[in-house]
Structure 1
Amino acid sequence: MTARKEPLPLFSPLVTGYWLGRAEEPPRSLSTPGRYAIVVDAELPLSRSVMRLDFPDTGGWLSLSPEQARLLGLADTSEIGAPELDAALRQAGIGLNGADHLFYFAIPGQTALREQPEPDSVRQLTAEDADLFADFAAQSPADDLDEAFVELDHWLVFGCFVDGRLAAAASLIPWSGTKFADLGILTLPEFRGRGYGRQTVRAACAHALALGYEPQYRCQPDNAPSNALAAAAGLSLFAAWDVIAEDEAE
């Protein structure tokens, strides 16, 4: 007997409107992963003139500027398979940047987030926490600090405290002139695996939602700990997102 697939999460109109434009939802009719519905959009910026979205357990979405559509020989509202798309991109000399997973809180998750009490150990950080944050950064592995991109002077910053020490910090910054708030999270190695990162993410995201922003969490598909943290915090995978390489978009 074939296992029943869970329905796709229901995301806010802000998410679907930004990524899908005139469509209301991912192309559920393309039930085979690796097949893409093609949308030609004259309003795409150069940085997203070729944009590929792979939705979980269903088909994908390929958005193209009119110029890129002509170059690739692809028509609006048509479909293409992954091998054919890869071949067309190679022939046109178009490279992609490399996929990121895009996570958002689905609508039921947003409701739960707004209703949750804020843990006593988590609070918003301000400039008055500069010394605490400096100690936290000094104890963080350099690679983790660089990848997480959590800074005290970001738009919104929350921290989780354990015995007076800053154990985890999350920061959000408005993303690309949108109402999305891009999230970074970092937990000191000695405090990992205890739920502190999850608590910090949820508190920071609840505050961002209250301010009218949609929390957005991005990570590479092969970063298992980061993907696991997103799921533990209640975020849902919207899509794997890839765009034209930056040097080719200019």
Structure 2
Amino acid sequence: MYPSTITDFWLSPSPTSRLHYGDDTFRVFTDATLDEDERLSIRTTADGTTRVLLTPAVAGTIGLQDGQPIDEADFRQRLARSGITLNGADNVFYFTDEARETLLGEPDAASIRVLTEADGRAFEQFEEAASEQDRDDAYVELDHWLVYGAFEGERLVCVASMYPWDGAPLADLGVLTLPPYRGRGHAPRLVRAISRAALARGHEPQYRCQLDNHASVAAAESAGLTRFGTWDLIAEDSPV
């Protein structure tokens, strides 16, 4: 089981959304208040339940009519015919209720602490030692809502940062370990430490990664997170 904060965000309609059509496994909602970059999103839980949220403009572009029966295959065919593309789904991981209880009972490792502006130079050196691709994928920043680091001696070797997610009490998490220091348990310990801090602030930790990022999937599982489902968004250059 997962906390209601997570299941409500994924499965419960917002006050401004309207059910277009739905059955036990596939539901489509329209919402005129969605931000431009979220004018179409697809959330699928691990048990196969899919929830689509889109603006009336997107619904009109793909020819959806109120109450019209539709399944996921038909929906995706309509997207393709309309030239609408998606970014590519992310895996989304959370702590189950049981895992949260274990997590909250653990102390932080001695090599881990909060990072502040005073760690600016150490963070600069950390970024200089990481590849541009790794930095882009992880998206860890010193000015995020919550930032933790793991050290070997005086060297900052792993950083995790979080920021509040999509107006919900969720905290999206990124983590990056410098290549020479991988495989030593820094990332899982750091993810657990920053997650305890997020929970203390009333936010549920959220870990995302691309479906084919097997190393990141392994890191999430090593940290005690469980895959809840996948999440996809409309691409910025889609014609809507």
TM-score exceeds 0.5? yes
Are the equivalent residues in 1 in contact too, given 2:83–2:238 (CA < 8 A)?
A: no
Task: Give the structure 1 partner of residue 19 of structure 2.
Answer: none
How big is each residue's C-alpha offset from its partner over 1:60-86, in whole Å with a ceiling of 9 and x where there is no partner?
22233344334432555955032x222
Q: Is the 8 A contact 1:180 1:215 kept in 2?
A: yes
Q: Residue 120 of structure 2: SS of its match in structure 1?
A: helix
Distance 2:6 2:68 in 1: 21
Give the alignment's Cα RMSD to 1 decimal.
Answer: 2.5
Runs of 4+ in 1 over 6 A off after TM superposition: none
User: How far, CA to CA, are the matches of 2:45 and 2:68 in structure 1?
Assistant: 17
Distance in 1 (alpha carbons) for counterparts of 2:184 and 2:23: 37
Aligned sequence identity (%)? 40
- 2:28 pairs with one of 31, 35, 38: 38
Q: Secondary structure at the match of 2:168?
A: coil
Q: Secondary structure at the match of 1:113?
A: helix
Distance verdict in 2 for CA 1:42–1:19, change over 3 Å: farther
Letter in 1 for 2:6: V
Aligned pairs for 1:34-113 within 5 A = 36-41=26-31, 43-72=33-62, 73=64, 75=66, 78-82=69-73, 84-113=74-103
**Cα shift at 1:56:** 1.9
Quickly say closer, same or farther: Cα 1:245–1:142, change in 2 above 3 A.
Answer: closer
Deviation at 1:241, TM superposition (A): 0.9
The 3 A distance-change label for structure 1 pair 77 and 60 is: farther
Kindly tell me: are residues 29 and 159 of structure 1, through their superposed partners in 2, closer, same or farther at Cα, counting changes over 3 Å?
same
Question: Aligned equivalents of 2:109 and 2:143: distance in 1?
Answer: 23
Equivalence for 2:226: 236
Aligned residues: 232
Counterpart amino acid of residue 55 in structure 2: S
Paired residue type of 2:71:
I
Relative distance call for 1:119 and 1:77 in structure 2 (3 A) is: farther
* SS class of match (1:247): coil
CA distance in 2, matches of 1:159, 1:62: 37
Question: Which runs of 5 or more residues in structure 1 are unaligned?
Answer: 1-9, 31-35
How far has the Cα of 1:196 moved from its partner? 0.6
Range 208-217 or range 63-72, more displaced: 63-72
In 2, distance between residues paired with 1:145 and 1:204?
A: 19
Question: Structure 1 pair 203/74, CA: closer, same or farther in 2 (3 Å)?
Answer: farther
**TM-score (norm. length: structure 2):** 0.85
| 1:206/1:45 CA distance change after superposition, 3 Å | same
